[in-house]
Amino acid sequence: MNERPSSDPSVLELLPIANARGIETVFDRYKTQQPQCGFGSLGLCCRVCWKGPCRIDPFGEGPKYGICGADRDTIIARQLARMMASGAAAHSEHGRHIALALLEISKGKLPDYKIRDEAKLLAVAGKLGVVTTDRNILDVAREVALITLEDFQNQDQHKPCNWLTATLPAKRMKRLGELGVLPHNIDAVVAQTMARTTVGCDADATNVILGGIRAALADFDGMALATELSDALFGTPKPTITAANLGVIKPNAVNIAVNGHNPLLSEVICDVAKEMNQAAIEAGAKDGINVVGICCTGNEVMMRHGIPMAANYLSQEMAIITGALDAMILDVQCIMPSLPRIAECFHTQIITTMDENKISGAKHVSFHEDHASETAREIIRLAIAAYAHRDPKTVNIPNHKQTAIVGFSAEAIIGALSLLDAADPLKPLLDNIVNGNIQGVVLFAGCNNTQHEQDASFVTIAKKLAKNNVLLLATGCGAGAFAKHGLMTSEATEKYAGDGLKAVLTAIGTAAGLNGPLPLVLHMGSCVDNSRAVAVATALANKLGVDLNDLPVVACAPEAMSEKAVAIGTWSVAVGLPTHLGTVPQVLGSAKVVQLVTEDAKALFGGYFLVEPNPELAADKLFAVIKEKRAGLGI
Amino acid sequence: MQSFQENLIIYANPEKCLGCHSCELACAVAHGDGSDLLTAVATERPLHPRNRVVVADGVTFPMQCRQCEDAPCTFVCPTGACRQSNGQIVISEKNCIGCKQCAMVCPFGAITVCSDEPVSEDSCTNRGVAKKCDLCTEWRAKNGKADTACVEACPTKAIHLVNLKTYRKALIEARARELAQSHRTVRMPF
């Protein structure tokens, strides 16, 4: 067990307050779950049918096979593939929601939404092969939406998903095609993965894992389309200065947190909150309405509107424990079901909004895009009403807040580089990689996990790699961790970056008018925005005429936990990136599956999983991989 | 003369035992080389539990050595490796030749002969030695633990390490309460 649950000073300040009041948080629940089941940790418990549960003896004396005859390899491979399918389902469901909204907008419906970034829509249309000259923007939107929805409908098994073809390098598509892992239809491969892993079906571990990889690539497809279409609808993120950690909650405002992943509701909340600011002031909150973000909905609105970030995954409960949060609005994914129980001890109104994501104890306000503003107004009215019940005696807002420069979409990064070389924006980046000022690039992604001291692994690995002149990108709860710990500032670059990296970030930052270097870690968005990093890597690979696995680019998920992270990690491997996991995946019971996702994956895809729970060692190993890739390129 | 001391007892409550085998894994790891479960499995350490979760007539709970006072295992051991010490049966592994007689005479089937070390095929010895529950004596001392590994691992708290004195006192008091209750109703006229 960790020596302390979190490295976030706000959490450390609020935990004793929660304990004194007998409020159980995620950190307490982690303790009550110890020791966790050894069979489950090793992946050796099978529950896919009701003959089970069956368990395989890890030490070889007891049962070697489940009742149906499945061995340890089959059991673990099936379980892992199902997690990949579930992750793919989550991201692509989010994507489908956005794509369907775009289709409706193109028909002139959904008056609360519009295409805010026409240039992005046209760029996307271009990538998807949609004719854009002399066409009405709504016509283009309609065709883009229909081509996108084809990725959920196409029944031709030989035609890969449109968004994959539009986003990955041709070399990578060829390699994946030859391995037979290109998805043709997101829904179909998720269903197929569930089908082949049910009792009595695919029992060849290698075949099962390859099937899972196809689902994971469908996850990439779903997330690429979700990100790009969200940009078209809500605007492509540009660098903006904001703040992070619980200190962003204001004592004299109606504080509303948006928590979850989908921007369709939170965007409208941000708009309506401005309209209703006066109502909050009239209710006695002299600072009006203060919208703050949690988890990836937080990242979405932080990137696009500079909305401050209150918490990432593991500290979402702490926002309520400040006693000053009047409402928390939930959409989908990574939302703790404990929130209404904690809110019972305070005045906080917990509001679920998606009909397929309810939590008992929360108030449900059904959200549909055709009545978006109306629903948002109803929710904000509830928040203002809750404010009247706030008990000043229970208010404890930690005085911890860090500046964060965020909003580094692929377009924003290319835009910043074009200030150095307008004709060839990638050239300055490539030149600096070649001359060694930048040794390589790491994408930090993934979750918080109670197995690790919250945020600590992210910070440790980042500082060590920055010192070694590795360019740091981040998404999801990793990005939240860096924002809260003050690593998304120019000062952090001055303090922690190696000389080469510092020189490059300073040149770009100065050209961009920041009066200092770019932040040490570039915030690329929510976890669904990992495709943004692939877009930058793809641009680099295409320019060099190489494949993604040739680049000195690695991924790092030191505190991974969700099924979405399993899917992301797997496509990251499949597109060719060495991918570090700080959490030991539940596969150690099968030496064969371990070999498949490490050594065999390296031979087949160029990418592979690298598991190292110790952050210091993980940083060394990742840097060694970057060196190896540089040697491969002869630089 | 040393006063007679009853050994600690691993008490299992069959109403709480779910048969999850977690106690077996914890036992095997506690008697390994100090690495945790994930490392032990990843490095293919051939570990062995000293307890066994059994199900008989619908009742499930772990069974292990009872530390018998008049132990058949100590009588049959040809090398004296298996003997009484401090109120427990101890097996000195360096003196055990792995003849399995103790395993055969144990009334509870609590002794297994096996090796926790990987053995090469052309080796002169299989390195098998008799293994059984040692009440985690060494492990508890080394790690400063009050409970055995199996007790710590039990998710439903079905297993407890109990001192017979405490156990007997609870038993006596429970029976006494019942008797007192019935005497109140009976009201014998003497």
A367 Cβ neighbours under 8 A, 6+ residues apart: A264, A265, A331, A353, A354, A375
Interface size between A and B, measured as CB pairs under 8 A: 43
Interface with A, mutate which of B18, B23, B24, B48 (most A CBs under 10 A)? B24
Does B187 have pLDDT greater than 60?
A: yes
Does B131 have pLDDT greater than 60?
A: yes
pLDDT of residue B190: 73
CATH number of A72-234: 1.20.1270.30
Cα-trace Rg, chain B:
20
Residue A167 contacts residue A540 (beta carbons within 8 Å): no
Residue B31 contacts residue B47 (beta carbons within 8 Å): yes
> Residue A56: closest CA among chain B residues belongs to which residue?
B21
pLDDT in tens, A18-30: 999 999 999 999 9
Across the interface, of B28, B152, B155, the residue whose CB is closest to A59 is B28
Neighbours of A564 (CB within 10 A): 30
Residue B96 is given by DSSP the state -
Q: Where are the beta strands (DSSP E) in A270-387?
A: 289-294, 309-311, 327-330, 349-352, 363-364
- Residue B185 tokens, joined: 């109703």
Cα-trace Rg, chain A:
24
Burial of A414 (0-12, 13-18, 19+ CB in 10 A): middle
Host H or E run for residue A45: strand A45-46
Rounded Cα distance between A521 and A488, Å, is 5
User: Is A442 strand, coil or helix?
Assistant: strand
Q: Which long-range contacts (CB under 8 A, 24 or more apart) does B123-127 make?
A: B126/B98
User: Is A300 strand, coil or helix?
Assistant: helix
Give Cα separations from A385 to A248, A349, A364, A378, A560 (angstroms). Answer: 21, 9, 16, 11, 38
Closest CA to B64 of B143, B6, B151, B128: B151
> Residue B46: closest CA among chain A residues belongs to which residue?
A59
Rounded Cα distance between A33 and A433, Å, is 46
Closest CA to A114 of A267, A305, A241, A317: A267
Neighbours of B60 (CB within 10 A): 17
Question: Which residues does chain B have within 8 Å of residue A594's beta carbon, measured at their own beta carbons?
Answer: 42
The answer to whether domain A246-394 and domain A408-633 are alike in fold is: yes
pLDDT of residue B118: 78
With CB atoms and an 8 Å threshold, state whether B49 touches A60. Answer: no
Sign, CA torsion B144/B148/B150/B155: negative
Neighbours of A457 (CB within 10 A): 30
Across the interface, of B22, B38, B152, the residue whose CB is closest to A37 is B22
With CB atoms and an 8 Å threshold, state whether B37 touches A41. Answer: yes
Residue A444 contacts residue A462 (beta carbons within 8 Å): yes
Give Cα separations from A606 to A209, A571, A598, B32 (angstroms). Answer: 16, 12, 10, 37
Interface with A, mutate which of B24, B25, B45, B152 (most A CBs under 10 A)? B25
What are the backbone dihedrals phi and psi of residue A474, each rounded to the nearest 5 degrees, phi first? -150, 150
pLDDT of residue A59: 87
Three state DSSP letters for A151-215: CCCCCCCCCCCHHHHHHCCHHHHHHHHHCCCCCCCHHHHHHHHHHHCCCCCCCCHHHHHHHHHHH
With CB atoms and an 8 Å threshold, state whether A37 touches B152. Answer: no
The C-alpha of A43 sits at a distance from chain B's nearest C-alpha, in angstroms, of 11
Flag residues of chain A having pLDDT under 50: none
In chain A, what are the domain boundaries? 37-68, 72-234, 246-394, 408-633
Three state DSSP letters for A95-164: HHHHHHHHHHHHCCCCCCCCCCCHHHHHHHHHHCCCCCCCCCHHHHHHHHHHHHHHCCCCCCCCCCCHHH
Chosen CATH of A246-394 out of 3.40.50.2030, 2.40.110.10, 3.40.50.720, 3.40.718.10: 3.40.50.2030
Interface with B, mutate which of A61, A595, A611, A614 (most B CBs under 10 A)? A61
Residue in the structure block whose two tokens are 């990987």? B118
A388-A394-A396 Cα angle (round to 5): 110
What are the backbone dihedrals phi and psi of residue A410, each rounded to the nearest 5 degrees, phi first? -55, -40
Host H or E run for residue A585: none
With CB atoms and an 8 Å threshold, state whether A39 touches B41. Answer: no
Sign, CA torsion A21/A448/A10/A619: positive
Closest CA to A316 of A346, A296, A290, A302: A296
The residue type found at A398 is: P
- Residue A460 tokens, joined: 């440790």
Count of residues in chain A: 635
Q: Where are the beta strands (DSSP E) in chain B?
A: 9-12, 52-56, 59-63, 82-85, 88-91, 112-114, 129-131, 159-162
Q: A63 — contact with chain B (CB < 8 Å)?
A: no
Residue A512 contacts residue A490 (beta carbons within 8 Å): no
Beta-sheet pairing, B129-131 with B112-114: antiparallel
Question: Which residues does chain B have within 8 Å of residue A588's beta carbon, measured at their own beta carbons?
Answer: 38, 41-42
pLDDT of residue A230: 97
Closest CA to A222 of A194, A190, A186: A186
pLDDT of residue A192: 98
Closest CA to A45 of B15, B19, B45, B116: B19
Fold of A408-633: Rossmann fold (3.40.50)
User: Is A400 strand, coil or helix?
Assistant: coil
Q: B62 — contact with chain A (CB < 8 Å)?
A: no
B84-B90-B96 Cα angle (round to 5): 115
Burial of A52 (0-12, 13-18, 19+ CB in 10 A): middle
Burial annotation B74-100 (CB, 10 A radius, 16+ → b, else e): bebbeeebbbeeeebbbbeeeebebbe
Helix and strand element counts for chain A (H, E): 27, 16
Q: What is the mean pLDDT of residues B71-85?
A: 96
With CB atoms and an 8 Å threshold, state whether B21 touches A588. Answer: no
Host H or E run for residue A89: helix A72-106
Q: A251 — contact with chain B (CB < 8 Å)?
A: no
Rounded Cα distance between A406 and A525, Å, is 8
Question: Which residues does chain B have within 8 Å of residue A41's beta carbon, measured at their own beta carbons?
Answer: 37-38
Closest CA to A443 of A541, A566, A525: A525
**Weakest mean pLDDT among A112-126, A481-495, B38-52, B92-106:** B38-52
Angle between helices A186-196 and A205-234 (to 10 degrees): 150
CA B181 to chain CA centroid, nearest Å: 37
Rounded Cα distance between A268 and A367, Å, is 11
With CB atoms and an 8 Å threshold, state whether B20 touches A588. Answer: no
Rounded Cα distance between A202 and B118, Å, is 33
Across the interface, of A35, A55, A588, the residue whose CB is closest to B41 is A588
Rounded Cα distance between A528 and A229, Å, is 12
A256-A260-A265 Cα angle (round to 5): 65
Of the pLDDT bands very low, low, confident and very high (cuts 50, 70, 90), residue B2 is low
Does B1 have pLDDT greater than 70?
A: no
Rounded Cα distance between A119 and A65, Å, is 57
A410-A247-A442 Cα angle (round to 5): 30
Rounded Cα distance between B19 and B37, Å, is 19
pLDDT in tens, A579-617: 999 999 999 999 999 999 999 999 999 999 999 999 999
- Residue A384 tokens, joined: 């203002």
Q: B47 — contact with chain A (CB < 8 Å)?
A: yes
Interface with A, mutate which of B21, B47, B48 (most A CBs under 10 A)? B21
